[in-house]
Amino acid sequence: MFTFNKKPRDITNRAPERELGFGRIITTTSRMMNPDGRFNVERQRTSVWDNTYFNLVTMPWWQFFILTLAAFVSMNCLFALLYCAIGVEHLSGIEPDGFLHNFTQAYFFSSQTLTTVGYGHISPGGLAANMAASFESFLGLLSFALVSGLLYGRFSRQRAKIVFSENLLVSPYKDGRGLMFRMGNARRSEIIEAEVQVIMAINQMSAEGVLERKFFALDLELNRISFFSLSWTIVHPLGESSPVSGFSPEELQDANAEFMVLVKGMDEANHQLVHARHSYVGEEIIWNARFLPIIGRNDKGIAQVFIPKVGAYEVLN
Amino acid sequence: MFTFNKKPRDITNRAPERELGFGRIITTTSRMMNPDGRFNVERQRTSVWDNTYFNLVTMPWWQFFILTLAAFVSMNCLFALLYCAIGVEHLSGIEPDGFLHNFTQAYFFSSQTLTTVGYGHISPGGLAANMAASFESFLGLLSFALVSGLLYGRFSRQRAKIVFSENLLVSPYKDGRGLMFRMGNARRSEIIEAEVQVIMAINQMSAEGVLERKFFALDLELNRISFFSLSWTIVHPLGESSPVSGFSPEELQDANAEFMVLVKGMDEANHQLVHARHSYVGEEIIWNARFLPIIGRNDKGIAQVFIPKVGAYEVLN
Amino acid sequence: MFTFNKKPRDITNRAPERELGFGRIITTTSRMMNPDGRFNVERQRTSVWDNTYFNLVTMPWWQFFILTLAAFVSMNCLFALLYCAIGVEHLSGIEPDGFLHNFTQAYFFSSQTLTTVGYGHISPGGLAANMAASFESFLGLLSFALVSGLLYGRFSRQRAKIVFSENLLVSPYKDGRGLMFRMGNARRSEIIEAEVQVIMAINQMSAEGVLERKFFALDLELNRISFFSLSWTIVHPLGESSPVSGFSPEELQDANAEFMVLVKGMDEANHQLVHARHSYVGEEIIWNARFLPIIGRNDKGIAQVFIPKVGAYEVLN
Amino acid sequence: MFTFNKKPRDITNRAPERELGFGRIITTTSRMMNPDGRFNVERQRTSVWDNTYFNLVTMPWWQFFILTLAAFVSMNCLFALLYCAIGVEHLSGIEPDGFLHNFTQAYFFSSQTLTTVGYGHISPGGLAANMAASFESFLGLLSFALVSGLLYGRFSRQRAKIVFSENLLVSPYKDGRGLMFRMGNARRSEIIEAEVQVIMAINQMSAEGVLERKFFALDLELNRISFFSLSWTIVHPLGESSPVSGFSPEELQDANAEFMVLVKGMDEANHQLVHARHSYVGEEIIWNARFLPIIGRNDKGIAQVFIPKVGAYEVLN
């Protein structure tokens, strides 16, 4: 069995910027992490194929569908041109006519070959047409095998959907105040052994008078739960030891403060590791507000959670 | 290599309700966990697609088959209507007649196209019919690629089947008594590094006189084995330190006691993590009974286990 | 990142029989583990489907092929019978004749439908034949999607192939002797972070004079390597502290001694956990012998290993 | 949840050659690890199938395509010969003629059957031809199911692409010098919890005057980062405790020094463990040089990395 972490990862002895794999990056003017958790970096690639698989399994479903359809149409067009070049008179069942007619008929024959539907009212005759058709049907099956593989690749990436509140709140917490955000689990499957970490990045003047980007790992009231079923409010107590305490709302914005949230866990649906990330910047902090409750109980006494309201809050005065 | 836990996870310093990801949930009248291990919660979803994949890979096989068949029939019906709209006279091989006849013939043509069987005694003529047929055959292959992906998704979830005894028994154990249940491994594959944890949830009056739901992690005689091949009786000794000791059978039921069992391990068949859960409530406790042995030895001297009898017990007097 | 074990798992404080998940099993007359590592147990199953997936992905390839072919032929036969029942006169292209002729023709039509080849020289006419054919082609695609899923299931189980020497040797080791066996990695892919554990099971008279099965975890010279590329000789030093030391060759056999080897690691080829097991019994021990070297160097100075000779030894005198 | 390593793996108490799974290998004249990370060993295989799956999923894409196409053509040829043997007069639609004509026509029929395109202008008649065609279409679907499985196997191996600098540099580092190399992450997906280890192998004279191959684990300035997004320069400080310090450039080459780099991490794209390896030999060390910066900032203030320049350096004087 895999071990289970007993304590939160001790990051006190580690430079928190290490956590993000950023080296000696100096002050930035843009966010380092996009709200959706992707790092805000630009990579000069080594080859056009570098990200092909990654892109194919991460693009939205409609985009994947369009792309597949476009590939299908393109391949048909190419083969239709090839059949026209060979001569459509070698496709028995087609009456040769003008190019457009020939191309259209050849296109339909190509489509019937690529998908292996092969009605047979058009069929190849002669060596060249037969060879082209044989190769096309081979290619067709191979392509759909490829699509099968990609589809499973997409499915196996299906992962926990963690919904984050849009804002960080500064709320009353115990005797003082806490910096809080809330996450909801939008799927029916549990996230097991969920663990969260919050890193603040901020521009600060160093002792030598140089403006530097500093990183702080924020202490959390609770950074780990065994089952993340419903919602979870993460609290960083704004005590004296908090690196956030000294700042006014304006100062946080001026210093280009960014709060990066890293969530880890295991998705019960496919038993795969889950890594969700989120980022809040200074202007997304609401001072002196409180999250509205989203866990209720239905009339059968069963716990109920309103995921779409995960960011709902009320301002206090 | 993944590390292996030397000791059971130390949960003494952790609030056991954290283990379940339940926050400050107060007294419940229904069970918190269903007997099959699903948490008894209701989630307001954010989108209708939230649980699509999860549902498709977890639904029973017969349901998956019916759903696939229904999708197949529906797609055929839709395309049959489309062919009727285009005009069945564009499908050579069909004699146009009344709508029902046309629809039926178009349905069969559609089915032959979607599955790419394409006998060819019916074949598309004209631009519109050909384009519809081309798109349909594309869609057909795509759908079956999707089904391939889902089927493998279902297979890769194939997991250990742990059978739990229907009851918790209070049995003689060493000098005193123990709370026991038994699990059996119904598959031929071993569960490696199996680990179990039992949490009791119970309504209790707090010091301030408020009825609260309290959680206790129960100590177990043995909470971890390297190979779970046969059966395993989990024992919580009812000693003085046990939080169960103070209660009479009636009190446990009145306090809405619930015993949640969490099992972890690795399934040897597909090398995936296994998480099984079970829950017992007060009325499922049998006081003063003993499990009947289910491990025997066949006539060749080989150990034998009777999984269907995992819950068999005898009442003592 | 997954953690990596710094030290061998400490099993000194654990009863080694726990490692095997065997409870209070008393003396056995047969081996507890087969030489191929499967536990020698018999499980009363709860449903006929319990081991279906496990069997389908673990059976040998030729068996899987035969089974698939048999399923194909059976489905064709069933549908052929159905078409005969509907009446082969509804399959245009078939000349109805005697039953055998009809059945054969219907069988071929069925095969053309199930595989979606659909030449079309036989084609369905009439409602019933069309519906049957439509359903059959649907079933055909579904079945092959299922086979795709299973094939990938089989591939993803493709794992390290560890070859064990046929014998345990008692060989000279440092100043004394050691119990040794040798393993070879037959694949081109490395096994990463390989870890090995050896447990001896033996019948012993307890203090109360009862013959009991005792388990001992044997100390190993080295129980963990980072890359298992070539071969690895595992050594249990037969020092004073060894539980094997007291026994003569005959006594080990009389006491039904069994040495169970558990190997863990990660296969680089598919990044999956590997669990290999092997078992040696008393009569497989060769006393006073030595393994012949199998690692050499070819004429280009490259290390070379002769996996098929992993069990080669010479007897010393 | 998988645990996360708090500290780099402590290898000070372990013989570093253990890390590589090399036993008592004496001085080598060739490199032990190829620059691409494969160990430079030759394995005598036990069966021709030993590496089939491994080869099929690791060969380059064009090779995989050629192989699949070759298998397709071969199967068609074999079946074409079989149809010729049965007699092409049993394939209605073919006019029997000379062997070459018959074979070609039979080949095309075979191809239409294997891919299940089945136009039908050629169709089997008679028992033998029908049985062969039925079996071939079955085989065709099975083969393409197999290819689907393999394609997904290839996809699921899609992994982080770590680009290494071509050279090891001896560069100024703090008050002294350091041995450095640089890695870049060429993919858009992060490598999570990346960890690196460097082992030096070198021929050394032992106290007994025997030339032996010794292994040293080199201390690194930082051997672990949480997110490997951009580039990472690994530094071994050449302090007094460094085993490299005593050697001149020539001595390192004479002693056949080899620096083996082992990188571990988790690829975010498919949540799989990543193991990259690289090896540098003596002549690949550049003395007194410095890596040129490759992380910049584009005009929107976003961090930018030039992966193809990962090995760019300037010589100092």
In angstroms, what separates the C-alpha of A77 from chain D's closest C-alpha? 19
Beta-carbon contacts below 8 Å between B and C: 198
**Cα(C165)–Cα(C183) distance, rounded to whole angstroms?**
6
Sequence-separated (6 or more) residues with CB below 8 Å from residue D135: none
Tell me, what CATH number does C203's domain have?
2.60.40.1400
pLDDT tops 50 at residue B257: yes
pLDDT at C12 over 60: no
User: Which of D157, D190, D220 finishes a domain?
Assistant: D157
Q: Across all residues in chain C, what is the average pLDDT?
A: 82
Q: Helix H segments across chain C?
A: 16-19, 52-58, 61-86, 99-114, 127-157, 249-254
Angle at Cα A171 formed by Cα A168 and Cα A172, nearest 5°?
Answer: 160
Residues D122 and D185 in one domain: no
Examine the domain organization and report whether D240 and D298 are in the same domain. yes
Q: For A112, how many CA atoms within 13 A lie in the half-sphere containing its CB?
A: 34
Rounded CA gap, D235 and D232, in Å? Answer: 10
- What angle, rounded to 10 degrees, do the helices at C61-86 and C99-114 form? 120
- Is residue D210, in this structure, part of any structural domain at all? yes
Q: What is the mean pLDDT of residues D278-285?
A: 90
Quick check: B301 and C29 CB within 8 A? yes
CA nearest neighbour of D236 among D186, D297, D173: D173
Q: How confident is the model at residue B56 (pLDDT cuts 50, 70, 90)?
A: confident
CB contact under 8 A, B1 and C39: no
For A153-167, C46-60, D28-42, D150-164, which range has the lowest pLDDT when averaged over its residues?
D28-42
Are D172 and D137 in the same domain?
no
Domain count for chain D, please give it: 2
Prediction ipTM score? 0.74
pLDDT, one tens digit per residue, over C262-303 is 888 877 766 667 778 899 988 899 999 999 988 777 777 677
pLDDT band at C158 (very low <50, low <70, confident <90, very high): low
Residues A181 and A136 both lie in one domain: no
Beta strands A285-287; A168-173: pairing state: parallel
Per-residue confidence band for D11, with pLDDT thresholds at 50, 70 and 90: very low
Does position D8 have pLDDT exceeding 50, yes or no? no
Mean pLDDT across the stretch D111-123? 92
What's the first-to-final CA gap in chain A, in angstroms? 51
Contacts of D120 in chain B (CB under 8 A): 119-120
In a shared domain, residues C218 and C118: no
Do D192 and D267 reside in the same domain of the chain?
A: yes
Percent of chain C exceeding pLDDT 90 equals 34
Option in A10, A145, A272 nearest D144 (CB): A145
Which of D43, D196, D264, D281 should we substitute to test contact with C (largest number of C Cβ atoms within 10 Å)?
A: D43
- Cα separation, D207 vs A170, whole angstroms: 68
Please answer yes or no on whether D115 and A123 come within 8 Å at the CB atom: no
User: Has residue A139 got a pLDDT over 70?
Assistant: yes
Question: According to the model, what pLDDT value does residue A249 have?
Answer: 87
Return the pLDDT at B139. Answer: 94
**D121, D148, D266: best to mutate for the B interface, most B CBs within 10 A:** D148
According to DSSP, the residues that pair with B182 across neighbouring strands are B233
pLDDT tens digit sequence for D156-191: 765 668 889 999 999 999 889 999 999 988 887 778
Residue B39: predicted pLDDT: 73
B11: in domain: no
Q: What distance in Å separates the CA atoms of residue D51 and residue C189, rounded to the nearest whole number?
A: 8
Report residue A250 as tokens. 């304006």
Which residue in C has a C-alpha nearest to residue B194's C-alpha? C21
Is B83 domain-assigned? yes
Is the pLDDT reported for residue B316 higher than 70?
yes
On chain A, the residues whose CB falls within 8 A of the CB of B18 are 222, 224-226
What's the pLDDT at A15? Answer: 55
Q: Are residues A205 and A95 in the same domain?
A: no
Looking at the partner chain, which of B5, B44, B146 has a beta carbon nearest the beta carbon of A306? B44
Instruction: Say yes or no: B151 and B173 in one domain.
Output: no
Report the range of poorest mean pLDDT among B43-57, C88-102, C216-230.
B43-57
For residue C68, the model assigns a pLDDT of 95
Q: In 3D, which of D78, D68, D249 has the Cα closest to residue D168?
A: D249
Of residues D69 and C56, more confidence is placed in D69
Residue D229 confidence (pLDDT): 78
More confident residue, A183 or B5: A183
| Chains touching chain C, criterion 3+ CB pairs below 8 Å | A, B, D
pLDDT band of residue B20 (cuts 50, 70, 90) is low
Q: Using the beta-carbon criterion (under 8 Å), do D120 and B119 form an inter-chain contact? A: yes
Answer whether C272's CB lies under 8 Å from D274's CB.
no
pLDDT at A115: 93
Task: Give the model's pLDDT for residue B114.
Answer: 94
Q: Using a CB-CB distance cutoff of 8 angstroms, which residues of chain A are in contact with residue D103?
A: none
Whether the per-residue pLDDT at A191 is higher than 90: the answer is: no
Query: What is the DSSP-derived secondary structure letter of residue A39?
Result: B
Residue C54 has pLDDT above 60, yes or no: yes
Strands D123-124 and B91-92, how do they pair?
A: unpaired
pLDDT value of residue D308 = 86
Q: Which residue segment(s) compose the domain that C290 sits in?
A: 16-40+160-315
Domain-located, residue C51: no
* Closest CB from D116, D118, D148 relative to B148: D148
Q: Mark yes or no for CB contact C138/B69 under 8 Å.
A: yes
| Other Cβ atoms closer than 10 A to A222 | 15
Q: Is C272 helix (H, G, I), strand (E, B) or coil?
A: strand
Whether the pLDDT of residue B46 is over 80: the answer is no
Q: Mean per-residue pLDDT for A282-307?
A: 83
Residue D288 banded pLDDT, cuts 50, 70, 90: very high
* Whether residues B147 and B219 fall in one domain: no
Q: Answer yes or no: do C108 and D116 touch at CB < 8 A.
A: no
- Tell which residue, D148, D149, D136, has the closest CA to residue D74: D136
- Dist. CA D112–CA D120, nearest whole Å: 9
Is the residue at B54 inside a domain? no
- Give a three-class secondary structure readout of chain D: CCCCCCCCCCCCCCCHHHHCCCCCCCCCCCCCECCCCCECEEEECCCCCCCHHHHHHHCCHHHHHHHHHHHHHHHHHHHHHHHHHHCHHHEECCCCCCHHHHHHHHHHHHHHHHCCCCCCCCEECCHHHHHHHHHHHHHHHHHHHHHHHHHHHHHHHCCCCEEECCCEEEEEECCEEEEEEEEEECCCCCEEEEEEEEEEEEEEECCCCCEEEEEEECCCCCCEEEEECCEEEEEEECCCCCCCCCCCHHHHHHCCCEEEEEEEEEECCCCEEEEEEEEEEHHHEEECEEECCCEEECCCCCEEEEHHHCCCEEECC
Residues in Cβ contact with C69 at an 8 Å cutoff, skipping those fewer than 6 apart: D138
Q: State residue B159's pLDDT score.
A: 62
Q: D43 to chain C: which residues are within 8 Å by CB?
A: 185-186, 188, 230, 304-305, 307
Q: How far is C245 from chain B (nearest CA, A)?
A: 26
* Beta carbons of C275 and B144 less than 8 Å apart: no
Residue of A nearest to D158 (CA): A53
Structure confidence at residue A206 as a pLDDT band (50, 70, 90): confident
C279: its two tokens: 């078992």
Which among C3, C116, C152 has CB closest to A3? C3
Closest Cα of chain D to A99: distance in Å? 24
Decide the pairing of beta strands B289-291 and B313-315.
antiparallel
The predicted pLDDT at position C10 comes to 37
Query: Minimal Cα–Cα distance from A298 to chain C, Å?
Result: 37
Q: What is the pLDDT of residue D124?
A: 93
D28:C303 CB<8 A: yes
Top pLDDT among C56 and D208 is at C56
Which of the listed ranges A201-215, C279-293, D25-39 does the model predict with the highest average pLDDT?
C279-293
What pLDDT sits at residue B1? 25
Residues C116, D116: C-beta atoms closer than 8 Å: yes
Distance from CA of B214 to the nearest CA of C (A): 33
Contacts of residue B148 in chain D, CB cutoff 8 Å? 148
Better-scored residue on pLDDT, D271 or A220: A220
Q: Are strands C258-267 and C191-205 parallel, antiparallel or unpaired?
A: antiparallel
End-of-domain residue from the set B157, B178, B208: B157
Instruction: Give me the residue from B3, B119, B148 closest to D3, CB to CB.
Output: B3
User: What is the DSSP track for B80-144?
Assistant: HHHHHHH-GGGEET----SHHHHHHHHHHHHHHHHTT---SSSEE-SHHHHHHHHHHHHHHHHHH
Residue A68 has a pLDDT of 95
Of A197, A215, A311, A218, the C-alpha closest to A265 is A197
Assigned domain for A250 exists: yes
Q: Output the average pLDDT for chain D.
A: 82
Do D174 and D141 share a structural domain?
no
Q: How far apart are CA C215 and CA D162, in angstroms?
A: 47
- Determine the pLDDT at residue A114: 94
Q: Who wins on pLDDT, B301 or C246?
A: C246
The structure's pTM equals: 0.80
CA distance to partner chain D, nearest, from residue A194 (Å): 8
What 3-state DSSP class applies to A69? helix
Task: Tell me what the mean pLDDT of segment A68-83 comes to.
Answer: 96
Specify whether the CB–CB gap between D183 and D230 falls below 8 A: no
Q: CA nearest D279: which of D184, D218, D199, D216? A: D199
Chain C partners within 8 Å of B298 (Cβ): 42
Say if residues A16 and D288 touch (Cβ distance below 8 Å).
Answer: no
Give the one of D6, D228, D308 whose C-beta lies nearest to A21's C-beta.
D228
Q: Name chain C contacts of A120, Cβ cutoff 8 Å.
A: 119-120
Question: A102 and A76 in one domain?
Answer: yes
Q: Same domain for A143 and A56?
A: yes
Q: What CATH number did the domain enclosing C143 receive?
A: 1.10.287.70
CB contact under 8 A, B134 and A148: no
* Per-residue pLDDT tens digits for A104-119: 999 999 999 999 999 9
pLDDT above 70 (res A270) = no
**Chain B residues touching C4 at Cβ < 8 A:** 1, 3
Tokens encoding B183: 């699990």
Asked if residue A259 is part of any domain, the answer here is: yes
CB contact under 8 A, D151 and A149: yes
Residues A198 and A220 sit within 8 Å (Cβ to Cβ): yes
Q: Give me the pLDDT at residue B53, please.
A: 81
pLDDT tens digits along C27-45? 556 677 777 777 777 766 6
Amino acid type, D249:
P
Mean pLDDT of C206-214: 75
Which chains pack against A, by 3+ Cβ pairs within 8 A?
B, C, D
When pLDDT is averaged across residues D290-300 and rounded to a whole number, the result is 82
Residue B48 lies in a domain: no
**Can you say whether the dihedral through the CA atoms of B135, B141, B143, B146 is positive or negative?**
negative
Q: Which residue of D has its CA nearest to B3?
A: D3
Which of B50, B141, B192 is facing A186, going by the closest CB pair? B50
pLDDT band at C135 (very low <50, low <70, confident <90, very high): very high
Of D130, D157, D184, the position where a domain reaches its end is D157
Opening angle at CA D250, ends D246 and D251, nearest 5: 45
Measure the CA–CA gap between C172 and C180, rounded to whole angstroms. 10
Instruction: Determine the distance in angstroms separating the CA of C300 from the nearest CA of chain D, rounded to an integer.
Output: 8
